[in-house]
Amino acid sequence: MPRVLIADDNIQNAELLEAYLDGTGWDTKLATNGDETLQFAREWKPDVILLDVMMPKLSGFEVCKKLRADAATRDIGVLMVTALDQANDIERAIEAGTDDFMTKPIHKSELLLRTRAMIESRSEPTELERGLGYFRRAIQQGA
């Protein structure tokens, strides 16, 4: 069963994302700060992390950098979910190593489409193939 870690310090936002994922058959877990997100990523080994940027202890940018620097968590899909919407925020997310970036408010259908595509693309053997597979699946599912 695919695993999705929801990392958001705002419990209402986290519970909304969890409700959107209800009925998918995916196992979900909540983290409320950057340190907890890294711990759960190492121990629980999710397929995808829905990662808020503005969190206590470590920002989503810092968490993503640490995930990518660790061989044990490098291949976890990261979808940043944030209220930030400026071009420099998206650039920082890309530099940190995110796979994709969604701006709040989040629409359920878009979240499900992107999360499903990311889960399915995790089976690709290389980073490049995972990225291409993700975008191919997202386009196909969105059509």
Between strands 100-103 and 77-82, the pairing is parallel
Return all residues near 88 (Cβ < 8 A) that are at least 6 apart. Answer: none
pTM for the predicted model, two decimal places: 0.91
Say how far apart CA 47 and CA 56 lie, in whole Å: 23
Contact 41, 5 (CB under 8 A): yes
DSSP summary character for residue 6: E
Tell whether domain 3-142 is in CATH 3.40.50.2300.
yes
Write out pLDDT tens, residues 115-130.
999 999 888 888 888 8
Place of tokens 């711990």: 39
The pLDDT value given to residue 142: 66
